[in-house]
Amino acid sequence: MAGKRIVRVVTRRGNLRYEFLPDFARRLEGQIVRSVRRRAKYLVIELGSGDALLMHLGMSGSFRMMRAGALKRAPYEHVGHYEDAGHPFTGCRDEYDKHDHVVFEMSNGTVVIFNDPRRFGFMTVLSPAEMQEHSTLAALGPEPLARRFGGTDLAKELGRRRTPLKIALSDQRVVAGLGNIYVSEALHRAGLSPRRRASTLVTRTGEPRPALDDLVRAIKDVLRVAIRNQYRTGVNDPFLVYDREGERCPRRGCGGTIKRIVQGGRSTFYCPVCQT
């Protein structure tokens, strides 16, 4: 989509998680896509007008791309869906699927289709001022995969938090884009208990302890692996602890058993033996 013009936008229902703006299609049609980027779990398409299309995939959202006029019995490449198992695949589709909710027709003849069975995703168009003031975006913490992100950054947030480590890391104001699954996975890699008080990873002078540097490396590692392999729950789950309650801990020489607890209304999986 980057560098191409949005010729036509079709919303095939009135809402996803939220209602579409009344002028949603009008503000997009005819605009050149200046860039496509990510901020935390949001996708941001910057337009020639200065507006931005803000999108979130929710739990089941995905995009696929087709050539214009090829909707009937045409092969397509399906990108980023849970059926991928990490690889694009070819299939056939009659017209639109009932869960195809938004269609973008691009100037290069590509049709980009947003599919979302559970409709937890959303799309909205924001002006530059609205982007700056957007309540969710303005409160986001640092990007965990940014080169400059390190233990010092995390120490500034965790040093004053007496909450359990899992709860603190799940707060998007502390670090952006970490979800429930990967917090559990990163904590296991780092050998840290999700019950541990967040502030114990920071010295009295506000410096990161070695365990916090280990945690930062674990966060980066687990996210890079997940992105590279396009992990989706339910398809060849590669997770070490998530959803593995009662199984033996995979850490060599540990011998512990994965336990499940509930923190902040979400399931946490960890090994009570090697995560301290």
Spatial separation of the C-alpha atoms in residues 78 and 169, rounded to whole Å: 32
Q: Which domains does the chain have, with CATH numbers?
A: 6-138 (3.20.190.10), 151-270 (1.10.8.50)
Mean pLDDT by 10 residues, the chain (276 residues): 96 94 96 95 95 93 84 43 36 69 94 94 95 87 92 93 96 91 96 98 96 97 86 65 96 96 96 98
What is the predicted pLDDT for the residue at 70?
63
CA separation for the pair 86, 88 (Å, rounded): 7
pLDDT at 29: 97
pLDDT at 237: 64
Residue 155: CB partners within 8 Å, gap ≥ 6? Answer: 201, 202, 206, 207, 208, 212
* Sign of CA pseudo-dihedral 73, 75, 79, 83: positive
Distance between CA atoms of 80 and 74, rounded to whole angstroms? Answer: 19
pLDDT of residue 84: 34
**What pLDDT does residue 236 have?**
54
Residues 6+ apart with CB under 8 A from 77: 64, 65, 88, 89, 90
